[in-house]
């Protein structure tokens, strides 16, 4: 890996496996709305694209989120990245998402900004992302075949219309591919997350891996479907199971000859704070951090 690229990922706990032992990330949950429906999501909870489903995160305004980032940046010196990953889709809430990033960039320019999205609106915001110096973007891509997509996404809301079944999945697929290409052209590092759903996209994810690699994704993170009936998701209620650890590892191994695979993902909450795998969100809950004075030193 060349030196410049190494530098871009060195302090990002998700993009660099080494970094995750030493550097922390925090999420700010500023994005409640979503523009698609995934069968593994229950809208009352976090976006399962990136964060742990079945968890309710504390929703913040952009001003509260920036305050939180400065408070935590002062208290946890290893905190290098602020990500927006929910609880809905960040780009279905562009004003809130970009206002948050703007406030953080103004007051703490050395914090890295990170964004995770389902990709539907990504092509429209590449310039804004570039301008704000957001160097890490994750797209959740679960299929490159709309027929498989129709089993995962019952509908997609695009340009004031709701598209169902294959038609919706095709739009999502085309927009995801366009977004991926545009990120590459803009030289923004892109990670792809895929949710492994046995019997639906498990074999197909090898093809997804091939396509995203060709289009220049930097890292592929295949995550297991978490589907407990009590989460109230479509998959949970219809008895769809998640993969076993062995099945997940086999698929990751099958793809690993082709490109770098992320294997240390912890499926974080949309308001997670700390090192990966460590959850300090309660220590910095809204009633607590709003009382704290930021001591962030730029
Ligand atoms: Fe957050 Fe995601 Fe950025 Fe990391 S998480 S927005 S890329 S700063 Fe990381 Fe958490 Fe896995 Fe996400 S371990 S769920 S991959
Ligand atoms: Fe839920 Fe995220 Fe899918 Fe939207 S993109 S339906 S919030 S999992």
Q: Would you state the pLDDT for residue 228? A: 84
Range of the domain at 50: 3-277
Residue 298 confidence class, pLDDT cut points 50, 70, 90: low
pLDDT at 256 over 80: yes
The angle subtended at Cα 115 by Cα 95 and Cα 208, nearest 5°, is: 125
* 81, 255 contact by CB (below 8 A): no
Residue 84 confidence class, pLDDT cut points 50, 70, 90: very high
> Is 264 inside any structural domain?
yes
Ligand 1, atom 4: closest residue by C-alpha: 14
Instruction: Give the whole-number percent of the chain exceeding pLDDT 70.
Output: 99
Between CA 25 and CA 15 the distance in angstroms is: 11
152 CB under 6 A from ligand 2? no
pLDDT at 285 over 80: yes
> Is 290 inside any structural domain?
no
Looking from the CA of residue 267, the nearest atom of ligand 1 is 14
> Is 295 inside any structural domain?
no
Q: Any idea what the CATH number is for the domain that residue 151 is in?
A: 3.20.20.70
Ligand 2, atom 6: closest residue by C-alpha: 37
Residue 295 confidence class, pLDDT cut points 50, 70, 90: confident
In Å, how far are 2, 39, 113, 114, 173 from 211, measured between CA atoms? 23, 23, 26, 23, 12
16 CB under 6 A from ligand 1? no
Q: DSSP of 95-162, one letter per residue?
A: HHHHHHHHHHHHH-TTSEEEEEE-STTGGGGHHHHHHTT--EEEEE---SSHHHHHHH-SEEEETTEE
Looking from the CA of residue 13, the nearest atom of ligand 1 is 4
Residue 54 confidence class, pLDDT cut points 50, 70, 90: confident
Task: Go through 83-116 and write b for each residue having 16 or more CB atoms within 10 A of its CB, e for each that does not.
Answer: bbbbbbbbbbbeebbbbbbbbbbebbeebbbbbb
Q: Would you state the pLDDT for residue 106? A: 94
> Is 42 inside any structural domain?
yes
Between CA 229 and CA 236 the distance in angstroms is: 4
In Å, how far are 10, 77, 284 from 21, measured between CA atoms? 11, 13, 21
Q: Which pLDDT tens digit goes with each residue over 139-160?
A: 999 999 999 999 999 999 999 9
* 118, 140 contact by CB (below 8 A): yes
Instruction: Give the whole-number percent of the chain exceeding pLDDT 90.
Output: 76
> Is 224 inside any structural domain?
yes
Query: Which residue from 84, 94, 87, 93 is spatially nearest to 44, judged by alpha carbons?
Result: 87
Ligand 1, atom 6: closest residue by C-alpha: 83
In angstroms, what is the span from residue 161 Cα to ligand 1's centroid? 30
pLDDT at 130 over 90: yes
The answer for residues whose C-beta is within 8 angstroms of residue 188's C-beta and 6 or more apart is 126, 129, 130, 134, 135, 136, 137
3-state class of 72 per DSSP? Answer: helix
pLDDT at 263 over 90: yes
Q: Which ligand is nearest to the CA of 29?
A: 1
138 CB under 6 A from ligand 1? yes
268 CB under 6 A from ligand 1? yes
* 244, 32 contact by CB (below 8 A): no
Q: Would you state the pLDDT for residue 231? A: 86
For residue 297 the two structure tokens come to 């030193």
Question: Taking the CB of residue 160, how many other CB atoms lie within 10 A of it?
Answer: 5
240 CB under 6 A from ligand 2? no
Query: Rounded to a whole number, what is the distance in angstroms from the first to the last CA of the chain?
Result: 30
Q: Would you state the pLDDT for residue 219? A: 95
> Is 282 inside any structural domain?
no
Q: Which pLDDT tens digit goes with each residue over 25-40?
A: 999 999 999 999 999 9
| Number of compact structural domains in the chain | 1
210 CB under 6 A from ligand 1? no
> Which residue among 85, 111, 113 has the greatest number of ligand 1 atoms within 8 angstroms of its CB, and so is best to mutate?
85
Please tell me which residue, 121 or 53, carries the higher pLDDT value: 121
> Is 293 inside any structural domain?
no
> Is 252 inside any structural domain?
yes
> Which residue among 9, 25, 87 has the greatest number of ligand 1 atoms within 8 angstroms of its CB, and so is best to mutate?
25
ipTM: 0.95
């Amino acid at each position: 890996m060349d030196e410049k690229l190494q530098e871009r990922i060195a302090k990002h706990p998700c993009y660099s496996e080494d970094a995750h032992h030493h550097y922390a990330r925090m999420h700010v949950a500023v994005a409640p709305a979503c523009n698609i429906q995934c069968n593994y999501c229950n809208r009352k909870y976090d976006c399962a694209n990136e964060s742990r489903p079945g968890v309710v995160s504390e929703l913040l305004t952009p001003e509260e989120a920036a305050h939180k980032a400065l408070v935590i940046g002062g208290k946890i010196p290893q905190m290098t990245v602020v990500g927006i990953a929910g609880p809905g889709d960040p780009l279905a809430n562009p004003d809130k998402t970009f206002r948050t990033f703007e406030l953080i960039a103004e007051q703490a320019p050395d914090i890295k900004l990170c964004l995770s999205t389902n990709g539907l609106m990504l092509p429209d915001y590449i310039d804004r992302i570039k301008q704000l110096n957001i160097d890490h973007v994750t797209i959740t891509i679960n299929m490159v075949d709309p027929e498989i997509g129709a089993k995962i996404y019952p509908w997609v809301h695009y340009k004031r219309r709701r598209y169902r079944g294959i038609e919706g999945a095709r739009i999502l697929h085309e927009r995801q591919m366009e977004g991926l290409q545009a990120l590459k052209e803009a030289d923004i590092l892109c990670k792809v997350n895929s949710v492994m759903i046995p019997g639906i996209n498990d074999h197909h994810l090898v093809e997804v891996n091939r396509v995203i690699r060709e289009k220049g994704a930097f890292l592929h993170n295949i995550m297991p479907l978490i589907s407990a009936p009590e989460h109230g998701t479509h998959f949970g209620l219809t008895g769809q199971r998640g993969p076993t650890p062995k099945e997940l590892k086999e698929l990751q191994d099958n793809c690993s000859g082709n490109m770098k695979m992320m294997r240390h993902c912890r499926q974080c909450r949309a308001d997670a704070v700390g090192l990966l795998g460590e959850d300090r969100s309660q220590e910095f809950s809204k009633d607590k951090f709003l009382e704290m004075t930021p001591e962030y030193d730029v």
